Amino acid sequence: MTVETARKNTHPSAEWLLPAVLSTTAGSVDVIGFLALGGLFTAHITGNLVVLAAHYVTGGFSQIGPLLSVPVFVAVLGTVVMTFEAIDKTTLGGRRTLLVLHAVLLAGFLGLGVGLGPFGNPDSMMAVLVGMLGVAAMATQNALVRLALPGSPSTAVLTTNTTQLTIDVAKLIRRRGAPADLARAQQRASMTFPCVFGFMGGCAAGAFLELRFGLWALALPVALAVVAVPLGELWKKAARPLDIRTERNLTECARDNLSGAQMK
């Protein structure tokens, strides 16, 4: 078996499609929330610390939403993790539940946003409430990826994914290293690349839609979240065999290369 054959056998489309859809969702939610809620990041939570600093310097951004976003994110994330562990510690059993909860929270973000907005004062109680629904949805998505999509790239942190993608692409261009290491680098790149460009595409689409339709633009991430639910079933069927096939194929590649070297 060649390294190329092993690569072809270890990348089912369902394995990268769901993280790519979730990345597109996060990108669109983040930019829509930023534009409609006075500079609130719903996915890039640490970015709210920058917004707070900018607010105190310029007074041009919201204050309460970014201030609450970090504790709300942590509280929701912790609650989801503990609930997930209590209900079902296997990733297969809880994936659908987390995907449905993610979609419901985004639907609430859309419904309340459209019903109560637009928000002239992003620090108003209603604006903050709507923004925290978006934060809760993204906290759920982060928990989902960590708990129920083991091995997947982050779907809400573009910097980390871009760094890993650049490292893997550079390694593949140089073509130096053990065949197994190169195969793993290509596997990671094939997973990370769709997430990076999905997030970027979501940002572009979300910005365009928010400028045209206001908070109705949240219909895009809601639709993507609904699509992600059945994709979770496909991922469930592909994920566990993928890990087994990957290790087996990489082992066979290494063994074949060793045998070839001994024959020479």
Q: What tokens were used for 231?
A: 């994709």
- 36 within 8 A of 118, measured Cβ to Cβ: yes
Q: How many domains does the chain have?
A: 1
Predicted confidence (pLDDT) per residue in 87-103, tens digit: 665 556 688 889 999 99
What span, in angstroms and rounded, lies between the C-alpha atoms of 250 and 1? Answer: 9
Model pLDDT, residue 11: 41
Residue 258 phi, psi (nearest 5): -65, -45
Predicted confidence (pLDDT) per residue in 20-72, tens digit: 999 999 999 999 998 998 888 888 776 767 766 666 666 666 677 777 888 89
What span, in angstroms and rounded, lies between the C-alpha atoms of 181 and 172? Answer: 10
Mean pLDDT of the region 146-155: 87
Average pLDDT, the chain: 80
What span, in angstroms and rounded, lies between the C-alpha atoms of 239 and 251? Answer: 19
What span, in angstroms and rounded, lies between the C-alpha atoms of 181 and 185? Answer: 6
- 198 within 8 A of 220, measured Cβ to Cβ: no
Q: Any idea what DSSP says for residue 216?
A: G
Q: How confident is the model at residue 218 (pLDDT cuts 50, 70, 90)?
A: very high
Mean pLDDT of the region 206-225: 96
- Among 27-31, 140-144, 170-174, 210-214, where is mean pLDDT lowest? 170-174
**Domain harbouring 255, CATH code:** 1.20.1250
Which residue would you say has higher pLDDT here, 264 or 49? 49
**Is pLDDT of 193 > 80?**
yes
* Domain span at 36: 3-263
Q: How confident is the model at residue 134 (pLDDT cuts 50, 70, 90)?
A: very high
Residue in 115, 87, 116 with CA at minimum distance from that of residue 101: 87
Mean pLDDT of the region 101-124: 92
Mean pLDDT of the region 148-166: 86
Percent of the chain clearing pLDDT 70 (strictly above):
75
What span, in angstroms and rounded, lies between the C-alpha atoms of 174 and 42? Answer: 38
- Among 28-42, 166-180, 197-211, 250-264, where is mean pLDDT lowest? 250-264
- Among 18-27, 49-58, 122-131, 199-208, where is mean pLDDT lowest? 49-58
Model pLDDT, residue 204: 96
- Among 96-110, 144-158, 209-223, 247-261, where is mean pLDDT lowest? 247-261
118 preceded by a cis bond (ω within 30 of 0): yes
What span, in angstroms and rounded, lies between the C-alpha atoms of 132 and 110? Answer: 12
Q: How confident is the model at residue 220 (pLDDT cuts 50, 70, 90)?
A: very high
Mean pLDDT of the region 129-141: 94
**Is pLDDT of 195 > 80?**
yes
What span, in angstroms and rounded, lies between the C-alpha atoms of 39 and 241? Answer: 43
| Residue at 187: amino acid letter | Q
Q: How confident is the model at residue 241 (pLDDT cuts 50, 70, 90)?
A: very low
